[in-house]
Structure 1
Amino acid sequence: MGKVEIIRLMLSAGRAKDMLDFVEGESRYLSEASGGVPQDPELKRIWIMMVHHLRFLAEFGGDVSIQSSGGRVYRSYPDEFDRWLSAGAPGISEIDIKRYLEENPIDESE
C-alpha cells in the first residue's frame, strides 16, 4: 500500500488529527525523509489549503463541510486535499507514513 492509500485509510478511520500532526511537523514519525512544505508555488498553495482541510476534519469531523464556532465560520477543502493526494502527497515521506501505520495499525472496524 502506497502513502496516498495510507493517508486515505487514515482519514476514513477518523485519524485526521494524526495526519494533521504529520503536516504540521508534530508527528514523532517524521524524519528528514519528509520534506514538509513544497517550494513550488502551486503545490505550496495546495499544501496550505490541505492543512486547513485537515484542521477542519480534526475539529469538526467529515460529516459537515461548513461549521461556525466562536463567531467564525470554517469550511473544509476536500478538492484541494484531493489535488494534494493526486500530486502524490508531496512533503510527506512514504517511509514515515508507513512507519506510522506499522506502529498504529488500522482495524477494518475503525
Structure 2
Amino acid sequence: MEELIRELVDFGRAEEVALLMDGDSKYYSGSVENIPTSIDEVYVFRMATEHLKFVAKYGQDVKMKKVDGHVFSAYPEYFEQWVSGGCRGVCLGDVKNYLKEHPLSSR
C-alpha cells in the first residue's frame, strides 16, 4: 500500500488520501484492519494527515506558507514515517475502491 499512497500524492491526490484518513471520503469503509494502535502511531497519523492537507492546498514543493499572519508548515518527515510504518489508519480496500473509480493515468 505504501507505493499506492506515494503514487496518489505524486499524482495530486493528497486531498483524497487525507479524506480517507479522516474518514470523510465516500470510499472510507470504517474498517479497523489497519488502525494506529499506539499513542506514537496516532500522533504520526495526525501529523501525516496535516501534511497531506497542506500538500493538497499548497503543493509538494512548498515547505511553509504564511497566510494572514499564520504560518502553516508541511511535515514531510511525519508523512514518510507514516508511510514507512504501513500507512496505519488507511485500509487497502478503501484505496483500491477509490482507484477503481479514479485510476491513476500511468496505470
With structure 2 as the length reference, what TM-score do the two structures score?
0.91
Q: Deviations over 1:16-67 (max 9, x none)?
A: 1111111111111111325686230110110111111011111111121011
d(CA) in 2 for partners of 1:5, 1:79: 17
2:93 maps to which of 88, 92, 95:
95
Unpaired stretches in structure 2, ≥5 consecutive residues: none
Mapping for residues 1-80 of structure 1, pairs under 5 Å: 3-34=1-32, 38-80=36-78
One-letter identity of the residue aligned with 2:39: P
Taking only the aligned residue pairs, the percentage that are identical comes to: 32
SS in 2 for 1:14: coil
Counting matched residue pairs gives 106
Q: Gaps (5+ residues) in structure 1? A: none
Letter matched to residue 20 of structure 2: F
Q: CA RMSD in A?
A: 1.5
Write out the 4+ residue segments of structure 1 that deviate beyond 6 Å after TM superposition. Answer: none
Letter in 2 for 1:55: K
